[in-house]
Chain A
């Protein structure tokens, strides 16, 4: 990620896998641990590797907290029978996995590990464990939880309300992000919601937190995934087409919604996007396909502005489905995203999996032709964290 092209120990992605879902639930019923284990084995097998080769382990648990999920790398390591020499349980919400890719790249480049495995799993839909209650009202949250802001969508709704106020963004523009996601999902047999929708369908869906309707919100599904990284040299020896990690940036700014510096502008994403592109030595026009976290429709608009694909305030017009949907000039969230593919609590790993599949040309009907460079951007908690990765075939 920081190593110059052609340097020894360049970090690359060599395997990705995620668990098949049926109606948003694991097709093979299981636990967060068993689902992650199967995905890990599949991702390793793709690269000609086995669990015995893994010496770097990265995960962020959202299962069983409080409980084993508070010590996620230890819990997964035990389950898989892995004793890592490098591990990272960074949890910054949904963007954790973009951070993991950056951290794993640094560890691989520095020789701290040879094969890094990144995993995530959730059975939140099967368990019916998702709710809108806030965080426990202690420490900083004693000043927010007592007021009953539905979490997380309330914070995103506040951002959307302010964005509409400052820039004239409309509910129809927000809705168009969801329309685009469904158009991609229609081309992806693995997506959860494949029925096309129109802007009016979004606007007619129940209001949850003004101005966000039900169809402005991501899915609640199960899910499990895994991503395997090693050196480019190792990938060549394995005969695997490598996906290089060329740029990375991460940041976080707040946990309390009142302490987000500007709710209509993602300052941290501006920084991580710039740092990732600078480290990759690339400009925006070099990006062929974009995967950005779509927890809510407003998240996409804020992110595209922050990353510099359009000017502040122009995200609503820019994110129109004609541009970002299939056949458009700016292919984005090609799996259907968190709005239509799957959203198992934390979605960041699945953005990376789809980017790798696009670069490897494995996407069938939804394949972006000739895609060789991808930008992946994760957003976590309530616009609290950001991490950007630049992935490339060269």
Chain B
């Protein structure tokens, strides 16, 4: 039984989570300014246009910063401690938060990472990262 918080999926984000269930990572791309953003919105945060499309992403990027949680974010995370949470700069530009599945002492800012898909329930797949093989 998975007892950690699950995303409350809404009409705006259903396509994003649906793609993750199929182990595909997607970003919103603006047809006006050609830039991608995360998290997905109805209006481009860069140029404020509304001609947006979902675009596939390889889910590769670089660790911008991270921390190691030695105390859990609530009892549901206790068994995971210590765990690494990072902000990852995706190669397309946007930055996102996710866990990095690696021993804390092996994680450094600037490391290359690649996406892994964690099927935590039947309906939710969380994105995560692992250290890229050099």
Q: Are A134 and B7 in contact (CB under 8 A)?
A: no
Q: Are B65 and A210 in contact (CB under 8 A)?
A: no
| Chain B window 1-41, contacts with chain A (Cβ cutoff 8 Å), 1 for yes, 0 for no | 00011111110010000000000000000000000001100
Chain B min CB distance to A10 (Å):
39
Question: Is A357's beta carbon under 8 Å from chain B?
Answer: no
Question: Is A199's beta carbon under 8 Å from chain B?
Answer: no
B10 neighbours in A (Cβ, 8 Å): 138-139, 142
CA distance A211 to B69 in the complex (A): 10
Contact of A143 among B4, B39, B99, B104 (CB under 8 A): B39
Q: Are B67 and A162 in contact (CB under 8 A)?
A: no
Q: Are A137 and B6 in contact (CB under 8 A)?
A: yes
B66 neighbours in A (Cβ, 8 Å): 158, 161
B70 neighbours in A (Cβ, 8 Å): 206-210
Question: Is A144's beta carbon under 8 Å from chain B?
Answer: yes
Chain A min CB distance to B9 (Å):
7
A residues 240-260 in Cβ contact with B at 8 Å:
256-259
Chain A min CB distance to B72 (Å):
7
Q: Are B67 and A154 in contact (CB under 8 A)?
A: yes
| Chain B window 58-78, contacts with chain A (Cβ cutoff 8 Å), 1 for yes, 0 for no | 000000111111111110110
Chain B min CB distance to A252 (Å):
15
Chain B min CB distance to A86 (Å):
33
CA distance A144 to B39 in the complex (A): 10
Q: Are A165 and B109 in contact (CB under 8 A)?
A: yes
Q: Are A148 and B73 in contact (CB under 8 A)?
A: yes
CA distance A383 to B72 in the complex (A): 21
Main secondary structure of the interface of A (DSSP, over half): mixed
CA distance A142 to B95 in the complex (A): 15
A165 neighbours in B (Cβ, 8 Å): 65, 109-110
Q: Are B67 and A147 in contact (CB under 8 A)?
A: no
Q: Are B74 and A131 in contact (CB under 8 A)?
A: yes
Q: Are A150 and B71 in contact (CB under 8 A)?
A: yes
A257 neighbours in B (Cβ, 8 Å): 87, 97
Q: Which residue of B lies closest to A132 (CB)?
A: B73
Q: Are B109 and A162 in contact (CB under 8 A)?
A: yes
Most buried by A among B10, B65, B70: B65
Q: Are B87 and A258 in contact (CB under 8 A)?
A: yes
Q: Are A145 and B72 in contact (CB under 8 A)?
A: no
CA distance A139 to B11 in the complex (A): 10
Question: Is B50's beta carbon under 8 Å from chain A?
Answer: no
Question: Is A4's beta carbon under 8 Å from chain B?
Answer: no
Q: Are B67 and A137 in contact (CB under 8 A)?
A: no
Chain A min CB distance to B41 (Å):
9
A151 neighbours in B (Cβ, 8 Å): 73
Question: Is A3's beta carbon under 8 Å from chain B?
Answer: no
CA distance A154 to B74 in the complex (A): 13
Contact A149 to B72, CB < 8 A, known contacts A142-B8, A142-B13, A165-B109: no
Contact A133 to B73, CB < 8 A, known contacts A138-B8, A142-B13, A146-B126: yes
What are 20 A-B pairs at a CB distance below 8 A? A132-B71, A132-B73, A137-B7, A138-B7, A142-B13, A147-B98, A148-B73, A148-B76, A148-B77, A148-B80, A149-B73, A150-B69, A150-B71, A158-B85, A162-B109, A165-B109, A208-B70, A256-B97, A258-B39, A258-B95
Chain B: residues with CB nearer than 8 A to chain A? 4-10, 13, 38-39, 64-74, 76-77, 80, 83, 85, 87, 95-99, 104, 109-110, 126
Closest 3 CB pairs of A and B: A142-B7, A133-B74, A138-B8
